[in-house]
Amino acid sequence: MTIINDTVIIGSGPAGLTAAIYLSRAMINPIVFMGPNPGGQLITSPLIENYPGAKSISGCDLMCNMINQVQYNNVELIYESIDSIAVNNDRTFTINYNDDNMITRSILIATGAHHNKLNIPGEDKFSGKGVSWCATCDGPLYKNKRVAVIGGGNTAVIEALFLSNIASEVLLIHRRDQLRADNSDINKLHEKQNIRYIFNSTVTNINGTDKVDSITVLNTLDSNNVDIPIDAVFIAIGTKPSSNLVKDIVNIDELGYIITNSNTETSCSGMFAAGDVVSGSLKQAIYAAGQGALAAVNIQKYLRRR
Ligand SMILES: Cc1cc2nc3c(=O)[nH]c(=O)nc-3n(C[C@H](O)[C@H](O)[C@H](O)COP(=O)(O)OP(=O)(O)OC[C@H]3O[C@@H](n4cnc5c(N)ncnc54)[C@H](O)[C@@H]3O)c2cc1C
């Protein structure tokens, strides 16, 4: 079946759903492809405490509210993933999904990103129960507690700095013998009194019963294992954007994130991007939602002048 649409939104996280609300209220009926993870990354997060207007809410409730609001605005939701996109000569796009296709005049890519995982025992079991990939989101839950940050790059150093203002002690565990981050941030880290460095080490297990209570750390030089009591583990070993669909169509940065201008336009006319998949994004729900709103406004302008 081939249908010609004004706009297709790929992704149903805060970016895609916010864009859908704005576009539908502007009388442009977008179609939202929900993808492999309807509701996006937040759906499994037990507690969100930094989304304005929702003092304390589960990720599932927040995203269900957004989906309900999108449905209230009569937006068509398709519970499929897009397999590929083709750019046509007449400035339209063909999007292919599940042996079907659709033609659209504009597209919003809101496919998000995912955090790299350690793939060790306890990581999935205690996700949201002491295991986190976001200090800004979950750090305040561990006031005066002892936490570990795993990683040694810029993200790990910034997470450790943030947590050092909240936790009683921060263990920074890195598999190499030194950090690989900006010197200015490393200098700030060295000024902190409550950071303990554990180098040449990897975490092999995250232990606990209902929540995290310790980690097993392997010293890679002498192969010794030690169990360290801990209240939370922040994994900061990088993120990957879900940009495979468009990596040969639009400009991406060296990590695969989509490069946009300040109007959320990509290098391909008619294709917009918003949220975590965008280079330089804050990787926070409110930022993704804001970019979704901005993209919606710019898609309207694009369709008017097309
Ligand atoms: C455990 C956890 C806790 C977090 N806690 C907080 C918090 O407390 N506060 C906060 O502000 N932020 C938090 N974040 C970050 C927040 O979740 C992200 O910044 C936000 O979800 C990004 O929104 P997005 O719309 O860009 O993408 P995402 O939420 O990642 O959504 C991407 C969407 O794209 C879809 N998709 C992907 N590929 C395809 C495809 N091929 N076809 C169709 N659809 C596709 C997926 O199904 C998904 O619906 C947390 C993240 C995690 C992982």
DSSP assignment letter at 181: S
Query: Tens digit of pLDDT for each residue in 161-202?
Result: 999 999 999 999 999 999 998 898 899 999 999 999 999 999
Asked whether 241 lines ligand 1 (CB < 6 A), one says no
Q: Is the pTM of this model over 0.95?
A: no
* Structural domains of the chain, ranges and CATH numbers in brackets: 4-114+239-305 (3.50.50.60), 117-235 (3.50.50.60)
- Rounded to the nearest 10°, the torsion over CA 164, 189, 42, 40 is 180
* 137 given a catalytic annotation: yes
The answer for residues whose C-beta is within 8 angstroms of residue 225's C-beta and 6 or more apart is 204, 216, 217, 218, 219
* 268 given a catalytic annotation: no
Query: Tens digit of pLDDT for each residue in 118-164?
Result: 999 999 999 989 999 989 889 999 999 999 999 999 889 989 999 99
Nearest to 163 by CA among 189, 202, 199: 189
* 213 given a catalytic annotation: no
Q: Annotated catalytic residue: which of 137, 231, 268, 276?
A: 137
